[in-house]
Amino acid sequence: MRTDLDQTLTALADPARRAIVELLRTRPLRPSEVADVLDMSRPAMSRHLRVLRTAGLIEAEMVQDDARSRLLQLRRKPFKQLRDWVDEIENFWTDQLRAFKAHAERAPKRRRI
């Protein structure tokens, strides 16, 4: 069973999709604008956007003045879930290293001869 986090990590595994996410961090953009900035063909862009949408990382909103045009923007929830998971891993290792340090500091020192 795939979790939301699995989908997020799978979607972000591709450098082109990470580049799309980086572009959308600054502001919403049209798919054609993203394709132009990344010098990517429209079919390739469409495939990458489908993966990002399926993973729930982006959403498309219709432009008010043009029903054919859409603006892409990032969704916060999957990125928050990813950040929470990374924080859990970081906390685990921080605790482990803290415990190891405490153990090493209280262990009796052996004298060298």
Residue 1 banded pLDDT, cuts 50, 70, 90: very low
- State the pTM of this model: 0.78
Asked whether residue 12 carries a pLDDT value surpassing 50, the answer given is yes
Percentage of the chain beyond pLDDT 90 is 65
Strand partners, 59: 73
Q: How far apart, in whole angstroms, are the C-alpha atoms of residue 45 and residue 65?
A: 23
pLDDT value of position 3: 77
Residue 104 banded pLDDT, cuts 50, 70, 90: confident
Q: What mean pLDDT is reported for the chain?
A: 89
Q: How far apart, in whole angstroms, are the C-alpha atoms of residue 92 and residue 23?
A: 32
Query: Domain 4-75 classified CATH 1.10.10.10?
Result: yes
Mean pLDDT of 53-63: 92
